[in-house]
Amino acid sequence: MQLKNFKRESIIPLPVTFISTVSEDGVGNVAPYSCLMPILRPFDLICVATAGVMRDTFDNMKSQGEFVVNLPGVDMMDKVIPTAKFVPPEVSEFELAELVEKPSKTLKTPGVDGCYAWMECKLHKIVDEEYDKFPYALVLAKVVHLEIRDDIYDAENGSWDVEKAKPLMMTESNEGMHFCTVKDMDFFEPYGAMFPNGKDPLAGMYK
């Protein structure tokens, strides 16, 4: 079956994250963002794609230079629509969606309590342009503090229990979003397997 080209995101399972920000006036904001990725393995950079209009999140990222990427489990599915609805910047989505603030370690912007992991981020660079006359931006940010719930993380080998965390993800169809999560296949390959000498050149970073 051939699909329309713009449907490319509906065939990639996407993470559902909540990005929390604070406005110039100190109002807390939370919104779901799925177009988000880490940039390469050795870096501490992430990239978020955002529409350039009608996004308080983007305005707050620019004015405050910081934000938190909160990673929810499927138990927070019902918070997606309340935080995605358009509301004026003076309305706090923490209050609207009955979310509890989690004080951040390095930023004044709070995270969202009840998630399984949190990335405190500082703005690195914004790539701003128009595509087909629609303004959008790629927001590059540096993770300055990264935290995961202790009960799902194995500090010995850095693996985490996806069956317990149940990360919230989604696929898309013509009329909306289908929420899903991740299943562990119990199949492991070391990074070193990609290299001719069998050694991961970045192994030292993980010690």
Ligand X SMILES: Cc1cc2nc3c(=O)[nH]c(=O)nc-3n(C[C@H](O)[C@H](O)[C@H](O)COP(=O)(O)O)c2cc1C
Chain contacts with ligand X (rule: CB under 6 A): 16, 29, 31-35, 49-51, 55-57, 80, 84, 86, 170, 177
What's the burial of 206, exposed, middle or buried (CB within 10 Å: 0-12/13-18/19+)? exposed
16: its two tokens: 């559902």
Q: Using the Cα atoms of residue 105, residue 110, residue 115 and residue 121 in order, give the sign of their dihedral.
A: negative
Quote the least distance from Cβ 185 to ligand X, whole Å: 25
> Nearer to ligand X by C-beta: 99 or 177?
177
> Nearer to ligand X by C-beta: 47 or 161?
47
- Note whether 94 and 113 are within 8 A (CB): no
- Note whether 82 and 99 are within 8 A (CB): no
> Nearer to ligand X by C-beta: 83 or 104?
83
Quote the least distance from Cβ 23 to ligand X, whole Å: 10
Quote the least distance from Cβ 99 to ligand X, whole Å: 13
> Nearer to ligand X by C-beta: 54 or 185?
54
What are the two backbone dihedrals, phi and then psi, of residue 72, each rounded to the nearest 5 degrees? -90, 160
